[in-house]
Amino acid sequence: MSDRREFRDLASPAEAREAIDSLDLSPADETVSLDEARGRVLAGRIDAALDVPGFDRASMDGYAVRARDTFGADEADPAVLDQIGAVHAGAEPDVEVTEGTCAEISTGAVMPPGADAVVKVERTDEVDAGVAIRTSVAPGDAVMVAGADVAAGSRALGPGTLLTPREIGLLSALGVDEVPVRGRPTVGIVSTGDELVRPGGDLNSDAGQIYDVNSYTIAAGVEEAGGEAVLYPHAGDDYDEMERLLVEAAEECDLVLSSGSTSASAVDVIYRVIETEGDLLLHGVSVKPGKPMLVGRLDDSAYIGLPGYPVSALTIFQTFVAPAIREAAALPEPRTATVEGEMAVQERYGEGRTRLMPVGLVDDADGTRLVYPVDKGSGATTSLVEADGVVEVDADTAYLAAGEQVTVQLFSPDVRPPALFGVGEDDPALSRLLDHVSQPRYLDVGSRQGRRRLRDGVPDVAVVSGPSDRDLDAVELGGWTREWGLVVPPGNPDDVDGLADLVDRDLRFVNRAVDAGLRASLDAELERLADERDTDRRDLTDAIDGYDLTVKGFESPARKVLAGDAAVGLGLRETAETLDCGFVPLGTESVTVLADPDRAAKPGVESLQQALDTRLDDVVDSLSGYDA
Amino acid sequence: MSDRREFRDLASPAEAREAIDSLDLSPADETVSLDEARGRVLAGRIDAALDVPGFDRASMDGYAVRARDTFGADEADPAVLDQIGAVHAGAEPDVEVTEGTCAEISTGAVMPPGADAVVKVERTDEVDAGVAIRTSVAPGDAVMVAGADVAAGSRALGPGTLLTPREIGLLSALGVDEVPVRGRPTVGIVSTGDELVRPGGDLNSDAGQIYDVNSYTIAAGVEEAGGEAVLYPHAGDDYDEMERLLVEAAEECDLVLSSGSTSASAVDVIYRVIETEGDLLLHGVSVKPGKPMLVGRLDDSAYIGLPGYPVSALTIFQTFVAPAIREAAALPEPRTATVEGEMAVQERYGEGRTRLMPVGLVDDADGTRLVYPVDKGSGATTSLVEADGVVEVDADTAYLAAGEQVTVQLFSPDVRPPALFGVGEDDPALSRLLDHVSQPRYLDVGSRQGRRRLRDGVPDVAVVSGPSDRDLDAVELGGWTREWGLVVPPGNPDDVDGLADLVDRDLRFVNRAVDAGLRASLDAELERLADERDTDRRDLTDAIDGYDLTVKGFESPARKVLAGDAAVGLGLRETAETLDCGFVPLGTESVTVLADPDRAAKPGVESLQQALDTRLDDVVDSLSGYDA
């Protein structure tokens, strides 16, 4: 551990931006065909090489005439002209309009020689002697002369223009079928860390393997910023291979990203490669998170090392790297990249370095956008979807007050605040109901935390179950009941019969955490048993092996039982049936959906109400031990 | 012409939306790999199939201990434990922590059996007897238990979720490498009209051919709305082939679009095919533009016929079709699809049907977004890039006042209002200077119109040349001079010597329109010649063959001369040299860049000022007859 690098001289965020700006990520310009040009940025000026239209063009259906032949004509005294032929769009005129004659003409057709105006068909009549013209026209009427739309030689589009459908329309009109555009910077992503396995691969949890979160996340961020992501194969713990991959990526890409390994030796390999093949510009930035960020040059390529934790990696990527990729691609920052909001709660902070604070967003009843900190720390990947973006808090800001205006840099310009924000108990019926609500966010924090957070005024709804000793000012949207009890291995090999078995026998148990409604229901049952035995609940819980062994999800105890880690788990009949376990029923508890009274009219809450009203019966019918 | 259909019973816009809503464009769901999932919409709920982390995981570098062995330890009285080994991330522990022992552990490593907490390295010392632990820890400290991040069985993401980098991160963490997503609706685009040629093809202007603008424009709009565009080959005037293509497109696509042909017989083919193979729901909608819109079913596919003029086609597409494609793809309307602004000028309208009014946007000095109508009519493709979107004006609104708030539906969510809006003279030096201004919009309306519009307060700057008899309240940003005169064929075969030749000899001339500064300069010279001859200017101009024959761009007269359509054209020395023509100089005129005094501090105007200050010398050096 003594080899591990220390980041003593941390750079400021401004210095980090400067170092990144000094890198050259710009790819060469390229030529793309028009059907692939949307979203690209023009690399040079396009001047019109031809007139549009390329000929004097009739802009109405009617008759091509010599204007002077119509002078004086009106409804009362039409001019009658000989019709000498017809000209259709896309055809070369085969007639010449001479004095006293006219030619039928379609919109878009070439004006025949001799004609200098079009009389629209509504002001004419076919008569025996020819065509009666009931109005007089001036030369040029209803004619678009060649070049009147776009004149050859004129400036059509300039360099730096983002090509949207309308620009593609103008290029089409000019006959341009390929255009010079700014290249997309190629960004190589090298994943380091012995413990990482690509999604889809087999995971050996006993050996501490985890799925590689950052590679695909950052690749998606790179593409979103206008770059082209290249994922390099995972080098595992072969450091020669890692070195080879870094050098290869540097040769092939404009920018190489690695996301920090927790393995010290992997970091050392990166240092060694950069020091041999390149130039380390800075290591360590005074921001939280992101302290271990590296910036340097590797061969002719730029190199940036990101932190390892997913939220930190995405935060540092969006804050420092995405702007550099966009600039290299000449793309503007999307207008939806940031939103304004006000702090829903106060937040203290005083570490003396810039903080990139992950936050969630929720709209209150009157549409005010509230911002609340989300910081699970510890590298939780769920923070990725529980946060919408980050607020950059200055190093000298020690305190953000509730109500204070802040700017949120979204994790993606496509991120939208949830339409419904719920917290509380985890439950399979709820999970299915949420499928019928558009853009919900639901945090499984348990019933106790759910009640507390609803009281604090941040979420729209809380879903709670089990007994509670505190009243809550809330609107009840609906609810259902679920049967709970003890989940045991298939066939109930230990012949578990009830709670007393846990207390009296030597059975390894898995519990839920204190915030879970199921846990409160269990504790109430234990209280009852203690009363029966005229003893204290504490005496009973002390006797249960594993009472303090708690796991997170409603299925988790059952899964522990199935894995052979315990003999009995706290859970639902539904879970026992789904996972083919045995089940010893202990009771039925109510699950209730409570809304903040101020938010009851919010569309997302109404949408959940509608799901409860129309979908709940079907949902509970599909689950064992459920009732509406 | 008698066969042509009349649109007598026009549907209302609401009826058109209803008819489109009744069509089924929804494609089947599909499965995509995680690296192609960004921007797609989840088709079903994803529940976690495994715990994350899959093992009890150290969340700090330090020592794995039994917490009870540290009870009572502090800085003054450390507990000293035997170090029995080390566990690294990605490795299976090969030690068991027993009473009085500890194991070195890295962040992310599996907790070895027996250990229930981690003491961070900063609170320890290596000492001779082992490891001194200078703090006490509780069970679970610095450990993330299995499933604490995501518990197996819990709801991870719901149907309808737009997949951005953060969702891709969560899916990665769950090991998911392919996901069920909503299909993209396939949209076939059939171009009708004998006169259309695909960009890149050869154009026969004499036969009235024009490039097909709508196919690529609408294809780009389809892709932007989340559909997949399929361009069918152009059928030309072979109506059997057109029928075959429509039927083929209907078989292969969820939606078939055609953009209206100006050719009556092509429209008849479409009618016939829909009436035989499908169902015409409505023909003709009471909106301007878009009256000729068709909605129907063709085989099992939906069919919508768009108007032929590019601005009309894009307007109707964005207003009626793009929302239907987005809905079929389950994509939300982009937040940037509309902007608010206030009318810069008044606009009268009273046709009794809904108007989709093409408008441009410009920000005034204090950031107010001004909206002004752009309606060149006559199918001008330049309107595509001169307008930013459309304002929907109700049928019963006859008048929009200046200052009135309106909502603009942008032609694309990526459209941004120009940073600089200029109008006036067309000039090659200006064109080059604009290359150094980001997001300029410049309309070649001529010097006279440029002065008028600057006076009316809509554009930021006007570029003017030639004599003017009206004063203008404006800030002069800079300018240059250009040499003008008569452009003649190479070698000056007619020995043109000056203006007198035009008056006195039988030479066909091509002029510029009255709005052009060059035309004003020419007229001033003719005035001088008339004075010399003691006659009226009108007598001279009457004697010039083609004095009233005007063309649009600064190069246009020279191109007419080169094409043999005229013997002499009005133009610049620069143009004559670029196009290898002969040139007879008549004078030098100033080109001046004038800014609206209220807008002088606008960033776009400052950017043009900077281009004038730093780039003008290089630009004029590169042009013949130019001086700064």
A-chain CB neighbours of B172 within 8 Å are 199, 211-217, 381
How far apart are the two ends of chain A, measured CA to CA in Å? 58
Residue B39 touches chain A, beta carbons under 8 Å = yes
d(CA B544, CA B63): 99
Q: What is the pLDDT of residues A554-613, one digit of tens each?
A: 999 999 999 999 999 999 999 999 999 999 999 999 999 999 999 999 999 999 999 999
Helix (H, G, I), strand (E, B) or coil at A186: strand
Question: Same fold for the domain at A30-52+150-181 and the one at A338-417?
Answer: no
* From A252-256, A415-419, B41-45, the region with the lowest mean pLDDT: A415-419
What integer pLDDT is reported at residue A554 of this predicted model? 94
Domain segments of chain A: what residues?
Answer: 13-26+184-329, 30-52+150-181, 57-144, 338-417, 422-627
pLDDT (mean) for B523-543: 95
Average pLDDT over residues B438-457: 94
Partner residue facing B54 (CB), from A52, A205, A379: A205
DSSP code of A477? E
Residue B237: the pLDDT is 65
- Is the separation of the CB atoms in B104 and A1 below 8 Å? yes
Q: pLDDT averaged over chain A?
A: 92
Taking 80 as the threshold, does the pLDDT of residue B77 lie above it?
yes
φ, ψ of residue A427 to 5 degrees: the values are -160, 135
Helix (H) or strand (E) holding B316: helix B310-316
In this predicted model, what pLDDT tens digit does every residue of B449-461 receive, in sequence order? 999 999 999 999 9
B5 touches chain A (CB under 8 A): no
- Give the count of beta carbons closer than 10 Å to the beta carbon of residue A322: 25
Q: Under a CB-based contact definition with an 8 Å cutoff, are residues A519 and A511 in contact?
A: yes
Task: Pick from A216, A263, A565, A574 the residue to mutate for testing the B interface (most B CBs within 10 Å).
Answer: A216
Segment B532-554 mean pLDDT = 93
CA pair distance B196, A47, nearest whole angstrom: 22
Buried b (16+ CB within 10 A) or exposed e, B477-510: bbbbbbbbbbbbbeebeeebeebebbbebebbbb
Report the distance separating Cα A574 and Cα A431, nearest Å: 13
Measured between CB atoms, does A381 come within 8 Å of chain B? Answer: yes
Report CA-CA distances (Å) from A227 to A220, A308, A311.
9, 21, 21
A335 → chain B, closest CA residue: B336
Mutation site, A122, A164, A231, interface B, largest B CB count within 10 A: A164
291-330 of A, contacting B, C-beta below 8 A: 308, 310, 314
Would you call A88 and B263 a contact, using CB atoms and an 8 Å cutoff? yes
Which among B87, B169, B381 has CB closest to A150? B381
Distance, in Å, from the CA atom of B202 to the CA atom of A229, rounded to the nearest integer, reads: 38
Residues B385, B387: Cα–Cα separation, whole Å:
5
Helices (H), A335-468: 382-386, 428-434, 446-456
| Residue B174 touches chain A, beta carbons under 8 Å | yes
| Count of residues making up chain B | 628
B292, B307 contact by CB (below 8 A): yes
In this prediction, residue B333 carries a pLDDT of 86
Q: Token pair for residue B152?
A: 């197996």
User: Using an 8 Å Cβ cutoff, are B533 and A130 in contact?
Assistant: no
Mean predicted confidence (pLDDT) in B75-100: 94
pTM of the entire predicted model: 0.92
- Do the chains contact at B165 and A221, CB–CB below 8 Å? yes
CATH of domain B30-52+150-181: 3.90.105.10
Chain B residue closest to A172 (CA)?
Answer: B213
CATH 3.40.980.10 fits B13-26+184-328, yes or no: yes
Structure tokens at A549: 């062994």
Whether residue B205 and residue A53 make contact (CB cut-off 8 A), yes or no, is: yes
Nearest beta carbon to residue A314 from set B52, B169, B440: B169
Which 3-state string (H, E, C) describes A541-600? HHHCCCCCCEECCCCHHHHHHHCCCCCEEEEEHHHHHHCCCEEEEEEEEEEEEEECHHHC
Cross-chain residue pair B556–A51, CB shorter than 8 Å:
yes
ipTM of the complex as predicted? 0.92
Q: With an 8 Å Cβ cutoff, are A439 and B412 in contact?
A: no
List CB contacts (< 8 A) between A203 and chain B.
50, 54, 175
Q: Among B218, B561, B66, B8, which residue's Cα sits nearest to residue A172? A: B218
CB pairs under 8 A between A and B: 433
Distance CA B466, CA B450 (A): 12
Q: In sequence order, which residues have a C-beta less than 8 Å from that of residue A262 and are 6 or more positions away?
A: A193, A195, A308, B89, B106, B107, B108
Q: How far is CA B99 from CA B67, B113, B188, in A?
A: 10, 12, 73
A491-514 tens-digit pLDDT: 999 999 999 999 999 999 999 999
Structure tokens at B609: 């000022």
- Taking only residues 502 to 531 of chain A, the set having a beta carbon closer than 8 angstroms to any beta carbon of chain B reads none
> How near does any CA of chain B get to the CA of A215, in Å?
9
Is residue A244 helix, strand or coil? helix
Q: Of the CATH numbers 3.40.980.10, 3.40.50.10110, 3.40.50.300, 2.40.50.140, which one belongs to the domain with range A13-26+184-329?
A: 3.40.980.10
Is the minimum CB–CB distance between B2 and chain A shorter than 8 Å? no
The predicted structure's pLDDT at residue B1: 35
Average pLDDT over residues B298-317: 90
Give the separation between CA B46 and CA B32, rounded to whole angstroms: 14
CATH among 2.20.28.120, 2.170.190.11, 3.40.710.10, 3.40.50.2000 for B57-144: 2.170.190.11
Query: Hey, are the CB atoms on A385 and B166 less than 8 Å from each other?
Result: yes
Q: What is the pLDDT of residues B214-273, one digit of tens each?
A: 999 999 999 999 999 999 988 766 778 888 999 999 999 999 999 865 455 667 778 888
State the fold for domain B422-627.
D-Maltodextrin-Binding Protein; domain 2 (3.40.190)
Fold of B338-417: Beta-clip (2.40.340)
Matching residue, tokens 């920000």: B363
A208: left (phi over 0), alpha (psi -120 to 50) or beta: left
Residues in B touching A198 (Cβ below 8 Å): 177
DSSP conformation class of B234: P
- DSSP category for residue B55: S
Residue A286 Cα to chain centre, angstroms = 28
Q: Is the pLDDT assigned to residue B149 strictly greater than 60?
A: yes
Residue A242 is given by DSSP the state H
Distance CA B485, CA B463 (A): 20
Contact by Cβ (8 Å): A340, A36: no
Q: How far apart are CA A612 and CA B620, in angstroms?
A: 72
pLDDT at B365 over 90: no
Position A3 scores a pLDDT of 39
